[in-house]
Structure 1
Amino acid sequence: MNTRIFLILAAVLTIFACNSNPENTSDSVNDSLKNKAIETKSGLNFAISPYENYSIIGDEFELTITMNSEIKVDSVSVFLGEKLIQKFTELPAKVKVNTKDYVVGFHEFKAVLNDFSEIKTQQIQLFSDLQPKKYTIKVNKTYPHDIGAYTQGLIMVDGWFYESTGMQGESTVRKVKPETGEIFQSNSMAKEIFGEGITKFGDKLVHLSWQSYTGFVYDFKTFKLEKQFSYATEGWGITHNGKQLIMSDGTENLYFLDPTTYAVVKTLGVYSNIGPTKQLNELEYIKGKIFANVYMTDEIVIINPENGKVEGIINCAGLLTEKDKHPNIDVLNGIAYDEKTGKMYITGKRWPKLFEVSY
């Protein structure tokens, strides 16, 4: 996305995102809770201890349910998401919870009195129990790169780079010859569209837009537009795992999409041992892991797609010399992987160079 616009938006927006637990919360159950819940009258209390602002995967908690009034208690049910943990017929009551099998992110517990006559909720946030491994980037080869290309997405297919560029009036999808940086094929987007990431899925090229909430599907060979789809968040980066598309929106969340309907089938929060990793941008799926640029930094994080834990951080600082820098140069963005050769490539927005790298 546009750095200048982002800085303005970041000053006024706070993004709240929740990650699903092992038993993802059901919309139908939530609707039922909302419809049947009434104003608190009986004084049901629900506490989690020990807990403050966050905890770590593997920590244990004790849930305590008490009542402030003499109302008859027929039952109190304790849920994690939609899963019933335990049911009681008298209070006070206690439940012990071990989080070792949970995923990172937010989890909500509910105490439900007498068949939904009263509900109390408590939420916890879990950080990763892993300390990410630290890596330093190594340049193996340098290629030319168009300094006018505000790089949003990058892939390598059959010896060619396919790149998407951003900015309104400048957004394109292009096929580029690595050795020369020559643009062999290009397709421009409508002037009002701010282009974002791309990925190849089957014989299609899937392309996101930033704040138009619209994705575009092209024939991979001809770049002919075949269909469009919509999504509820901003569009930033996109990749795939062979079965699902994986999309970022600048938060700590990754969205797994059905490649036929483009519906979200899973939301995964990304966390390290110090908290959520926000501003996830360009994505690439490499050997079973998700590699993501962290916007406005020189870092690429390596994410476990099963649990959202950050397993590694690649420091990419120092790739450009002072001579490489120009007034319009912008941040690191763009990760490509050649499955045939096992080579990895990175670049940045309006960078004069593109690098084959290892770490």
Structure 2
Amino acid sequence: MEHRSYMRGRTRSRLLAAFLLAMSLAMPVDGTDSNELAEERDLILIETTPHDPTAFTQGLEVHGNLIIESTGLYGHSGLRELDPSSGDVLRETVVDEAYFSEGITVFDSTIIMLTWTSGTALIFDLETLSLTGNISYEGEGWGLCFDGQYLVMSNGSSELAFRDPVTFEIRRSVTVISNDEELDRLNELECVGSTVYANVWGQDRIVAINSSSGVVEFYVSAASLAADQGHTKNEVLNGIAFDESNGGFWITGKNWTEMYLVSFESNPTDNLNESTEIEEQRATTVPTFVNYFTLGIFFLSIILIGRRLKHQQPPPPSEVEQSEDVP
């Protein structure tokens, strides 16, 4: 009997532990959702300057008080310096017609240019724009930027490769995620601190990517600018360059007639709506937590009361009853 009572006690204890574990797992946890929707920011137009409509823009970079641009298409690819105040082409180097130029970035005293399908990066002298060398890589080349340590490269997929700027070897890579889904067709890139800004091919938007996690933190729509530009499916938004002198970004597109200096600003109305949604979620979460907690206390009380009644000893018999029972 004692053994069976002990086993029943162990069973009740196990049931109690399992119940409490289930309750703890059912309770909501207050925390930040890693799959939060990317914030949409406003694109603020600061300045407009002319842009050569024959330039099939593939890459854009600010260096000092000049803009460096790469242009694509077989037989029309090149590298040029632009005056941002007038859009005039100051210098230009023609690229061999065997190459289709893509994204560019400045590294030390050189300009590194990707090519689309040739698997070759062309290296130019920053001061003279003369071709000084090349380096091979696998796959397609789309966008390129330098984050201060690595060359960040896109190839039209959802992957960003972080390459050694000297050997071009891949050191790491991240998959870009937007609203819990992979975001592909990443094109022209611009590195600013720990953020990689990217054009998305075929879309009138720019996304800001966390370079460590690959998560899109916010995006801006350039649809208002694109509406007046581009008359074919290929004449899309492409080209983004950070201008450290004013904190803005120069953007343009393939065969667009203008370049735009813009900034990306948070929308106070959007922030207010987001705060309201968070408060509503909290208002729903708190009563749910209280209900679970109350239910748990209720069942726990029943179990403890039952155990106490089970093991409670009967009161001792009176002296009269004891004497009567003695033979």
**TM-score, normalising length: structure 2:** 0.68
Q: CA deviation at 1:128?
A: 5.6
Matched residue, 1:318 = 224
Query: Corresponding residue for 2:99?
Result: 193
What aligned pairs does 1:317-336 form with structure 2 within 5 A after superposition?
317-320=223-226, 322=228, 324-326=229-231, 330-336=235-241
Corresponding residue number in structure 1 for 2:12: none
Unmatched tracts of structure 2, length 5 or more? 1-30, 265-327
Aligned residues: 233
Q: Which residue of 2 aligns with 1:166?
A: 72
Partner of residue 249, structure 2: 344
- In structure 2, the partner of 1:151 is 57
C-alpha change, 1:218 and 1:325, in structure 2 (3 Å) is closer
> Cα offset for 1:328?
8.5
Contact 1:146 1:352 in 2 (8 A): yes
Query: Is residue 128–residue 309 contact of structure 1 (8 Å, CA) maintained in 2?
Result: no
User: What is the CA distance between 1:329 and its match in structure 2?
Assistant: 6.9
Q: CA RMSD in A?
A: 1.8
In 1, Cα distance between the equivalents of 2:212 and 2:227?
Answer: 38
Percent identity between the two aligned chains: 37
The answer to whether the 8 A contact 1:140-1:357 is kept is yes
Q: Distance in 2 between the 1:249 and 1:327 partners?
A: 23
1:214 to 104, 113, 120: 120
- Find the partner of 1:180 among 86, 105, 114: 86
Match of 1:307 among 202, 206, 213: 213
Residue 343 of structure 1, CA deviation: 1.9
- Give unmatched runs, 5+ long, in structure 1: 1-99, 101-126
1:43-58 aligned at under 5 Å gives the runs none
CA-CA distance at 1:138 after TM superposition: 1.6
1:226 maps onto 2:96 in alignment: no
Contact kept, 8 Å, 1:130 with 1:309, in 2: the verdict is no
Q: CA deviation at 1:327?
A: 5.8
Query: Who is 1:50 aligned against?
Result: none
Q: Greater Rg, structure 1 or structure 2?
A: 2
Stretch deviating more after TM superposition (127-136 or 274-283): 127-136
After TM superposition, the runs of 4+ consecutive aligned structure 1 residues lying more than 6 A away are none
Name the residue aligned to 1:40: none
| CA displacement 1:304-351 (0-9 Å, x = unmatched) | 0011111111111111454x5556871000001112332211100000
Using the alignment, how far apart are the partners of 2:230 and 2:248 within structure 1? 26
TM-score by length of 1: 0.62
The answer to whether the 8 Å contact 2:198/2:208 transfers is yes
- Give the secondary structure class of the aligned counterpart of 2:153: strand
Separation in 2, partners of 1:295, 1:320: 13
Q: Which amino acid aligns with 1:350?
A: N
Q: 2:200 aligns with which of 294, 302, 307?
A: 294
What whole-Å deviation, never above 9, does each CA across 1:210-268 have from its counterpart, x for those lacking one? 00010011110111222211111100000011111000000000011101111111111
Counterpart secondary structure, 1:143: strand
Residue matched to 1:14: none
In 2, Cα distance between equivalents of 1:215 and 1:284: 17
Q: Retained in 2: the 8 A contact 1:169–1:192?
A: yes
Secondary structure of the corresponding residue to residue 180 of structure 1? coil
Structure 2: how far apart are the matches of 1:355 and 1:300? Answer: 14
Does the Cα contact within 8 Å between 2:206 and 2:219 map onto a contact in 1?
yes
Higher helix fraction (1 or 2): 2
Question: Which amino acid letter does the alignment assign opposite residue 351 of structure 1?
Answer: W
Q: Which range moves more in the overlay, 268-277 or 203-212?
A: 268-277
Q: CA deviation at 1:274?
A: 3.2
The secondary structure found in structure 2 opposite 1:312 is: strand
**Cα distance between partner residues in 1 of 2:122 and 2:234:** 27
1:355 alignment counterpart: 260
Q: Does 1:130 align with 2:130?
A: no
Q: 1: CA distance between counterparts of 2:134 and 2:61? A: 21
